[in-house]
Amino acid sequence: MTIARREFLKAVGGASVAGSLVGYGAPALAAAPKPLDFGFTDDNVPMNAANLCPMPSSITTAHARYAQALDLSLSSESRHSVEALKEEARSRLAALLGTSADELGIVRNTSEANNTIVQGVPLQAGDEIVLWDQNHPSNSVAWDVQASRLGATVRRFSVPTDTGSIDEVVDLFVAAVGDRTKVVSFTHISNISGFKIPAAEVCAALRKRKSDIHIHVDGAQTWGAVDINLGAIEADSFSGSAHKWFMGPREVGLLYVREDHVESIWPNIVSIPWGQTEDDAPAGARKFDALGQRDDAAIAALADAAGFHEAITPAGIEGRSTMIADRLRAGLNDLDVKFVSSLNPAFKSSVVILSVPRENARGLPGKIYQDSGIITAATGGLRMSPHVYNTEDHVDRVVAAVKKSRALLA
Ligand SMILES: Cc1ncc(COP(=O)(O)O)c(C=O)c1O
């Protein structure tokens, strides 16, 4: 599946993007396929980025090349040449996210990153953890387990989908904080409602309310979808999975930890490349990715995935994804369906969800796939999460399929 370059440029509408696409592939991805080549066929189209994304063909090729290089030779030269790309990936991801390489751990996925924070933030009996009630289990149940272990408490609060303004959302977060609160943890974009929390405003207000709380942001639905600058968001930690919106290798993720917090957060796993003593930890947030032998080929391919994002730019990707999601929302709106996801420009995202009666929920994505060849999900209703590889034709096809199944929706 190749998305016409002209169509992409029209969608993101920027001369700077055109310029960067011309240069794409030159340094890190020599001889790679065109940037917007994806391997899927037109009768098998993913629209489920909130769960798992395909890699661009160039990244699939790079990944296979690194894996083959290792299988052909496990000499130290061969291994070092692949392993060295981990640091290259770290630096390039840091630049894309507006942070420093020392603040990024390359872990396995968001679940692992969230759990490093859950288990690593120093807490004691009587402390309180405040959670948005839409958090993913790895950022919700994981806190319950840890609170039981420590004798801490968990308080949850809701943000109604029809909340009208950013200030109202900020007020709900601030009101949930009490004198014993030591952690506030929330998902930036909910996987079950698509609601986008105004993270920068929330973090700034929480800082003002109480300076000693650890603020963790689950970025599983953000990293690779939204042009995010971690330096500008006053979060203490942030997690993500490369295999979601970042369109990178599977089972590779990131954990950002603010520089001044790295030392105080306990690592979950201690192994190579730690040295022989407790003081011999890898530098910075690298201490969170010291998990022993890793899939070095997948981690190396992360550098190529960073090259893909540098070329198209995070702003270009967000623009294209948003344009496609807006077209989807408009098409669905014409069917007079009930949205779970917000239509408010302040809170909408590229995660678009329709309300479906419970008894129809599980079967509906299969029917939509049969009728349109588009892959959706049953999370939170009928969930469609389009990304840069989706075209207007894909949107029109899925809308037609939803229309055909209209009677099964709320
Ligand atoms: C908000 C959120 N957090 C965490 C995760 C877990 O991601 P992973 O399975 O890549 O660890 C998901 C998965 O869908 C998610 O949506």
| Residuewise pLDDT in 10s, the chain (410 residues) | 665 544 544 444 333 333 233 332 332 333 334 557 999 999 999 999 999 999 999 999 999 999 999 999 999 999 999 999 999 999 999 999 999 999 999 999 999 999 999 999 999 999 999 999 999 999 999 999 999 999 999 999 999 988 999 999 999 999 999 999 999 999 999 999 999 999 999 999 999 999 999 999 999 999 999 999 998 999 999 999 999 999 999 999 999 999 999 999 999 999 999 999 999 999 999 999 999 999 999 999 999 999 999 999 999 999 999 999 999 999 999 999 999 999 999 999 999 999 999 999 999 999 999 999 999 999 999 999 999 999 999 999 999 999 999 999 99
- Residue 241 CB–ligand 1 contact under 6 Å: yes
Asked if 297 and 348 sit in the same domain, the reply is no
- Residue 385 CB–ligand 1 contact under 6 Å: no
288 Cα to the center of ligand 1, angstroms: 18
Q: Is 249 exposed, middle or buried (0-12, 13-18, 19+ CB in 10 A)?
A: buried
What is the pLDDT at residue 314? 96
Asked if 108 and 218 sit in the same domain, the reply is yes
The pTM score is 0.92
User: Residue 91: phi, psi to the nearest 5?
Assistant: -65, -40
First to last CA, the chain: 33
- Residue 110 CB–ligand 1 contact under 6 Å: yes
- Residue 58 CB–ligand 1 contact under 6 Å: no
Query: What CATH number does residue 292 fall under?
Result: 3.40.640.10
Q: Which of 379, 378, 358 has the alpha carbon at shortest distance from 368?
A: 378
Contact 368, 405 (CB under 8 A): yes
136: phi > 0 → left, psi -120 to 50 → alpha, else beta; which?
beta
DSSP reduced 3-state for 215: strand
Of the residues 259, 284, 307, which one is the last residue of a structural domain?
Answer: 307
Asked if 155 and 193 sit in the same domain, the reply is yes
Query: What CATH number does residue 381 fall under?
Result: 3.90.1150.10
**Which residue is closest in CA terms to ligand 1's atom 16?**
191
Helix (H) or strand (E) holding 186: strand 181-187
Ligand 1 atom with the shortest distance to the CA of 244: 10
In a domain, 61, yes or no: no
| Structural domain of 299 | 88-307
The span from the CA of 187 to the CA of 50, in Å, is 13
Contact 259, 212 (CB under 8 A): no
**Which residue is closest in CA terms to ligand 1's atom 12?**
220
In a domain, 79, yes or no: no
In a domain, 111, yes or no: yes
Asked if 271 and 339 sit in the same domain, the reply is no
72: phi > 0 → left, psi -120 to 50 → alpha, else beta; which?
alpha
Mark 342-366 as b/e (b = at least 16 C-beta within 10 Å): beeeebbbbbbbbebeeebbeebbe
Ligand 1 atom with the shortest distance to the CA of 108: 11
What is the pLDDT at residue 37? 92
Asked if 114 and 163 sit in the same domain, the reply is yes
Beta-bridge partner residues of 157: 132
Ligand 1 atom with the shortest distance to the CA of 253: 10
User: Residue 404: phi, psi to the nearest 5?
Assistant: -65, -35
Contact 332, 386 (CB under 8 A): no
- 323's tokens: 């344009």
Number of domain units in the chain: 2
The span from the CA of 17 to the CA of 319, in Å, is 11
In a domain, 37, yes or no: no
- Measured CA to CA in angstroms, residue 249 lies from 57, 298, 393 at distances of 11, 6, 27
Of 48, 51, 53, 136, the one to substitute when testing ligand 1's pocket (max ligand atoms within 8 A of C-beta) is 136
Ligand 1 atom with the shortest distance to the CA of 187: 1
In a domain, 76, yes or no: no
220 Cα to the center of ligand 1, angstroms: 5
What is the pLDDT at residue 1? 64
- Residue 383 CB–ligand 1 contact under 6 Å: no
60 Cα to the center of ligand 1, angstroms: 22
Amino acid (one-letter) located at 303: A
Asked if 239 and 286 sit in the same domain, the reply is yes
In a domain, 73, yes or no: no
Strand bridging mode 128-132 / 181-187: parallel
Strands of 43-170, DSSP E: 45-46, 104-107, 128-132, 153-157
**At CA 12, angle to CA 402 and CA 98, rounded to 5?**
110
In a domain, 381, yes or no: yes
Asked if 381 and 248 sit in the same domain, the reply is no
In a domain, 35, yes or no: no
Of 106, 108, 135, 191, the one to substitute when testing ligand 1's pocket (max ligand atoms within 8 A of C-beta) is 191
Of 52, 111, 237, the one to substitute when testing ligand 1's pocket (max ligand atoms within 8 A of C-beta) is 111
246 Cα to the center of ligand 1, angstroms: 13
- Residue 136 CB–ligand 1 contact under 6 Å: yes
DSSP reduced 3-state for 43: coil
What is the pLDDT at residue 161? 86
- Residue 119 CB–ligand 1 contact under 6 Å: no
Of 241, 341, 353, the one to substitute when testing ligand 1's pocket (max ligand atoms within 8 A of C-beta) is 241
Q: Which of 395, 238, 403 has the alpha carbon at shortest distance from 321?
A: 395
Asked if 240 and 361 sit in the same domain, the reply is no
Contact 214, 236 (CB under 8 A): yes
Length of the chain, please? Answer: 410
- Residue 138 CB–ligand 1 contact under 6 Å: yes
241 Cα to the center of ligand 1, angstroms: 7
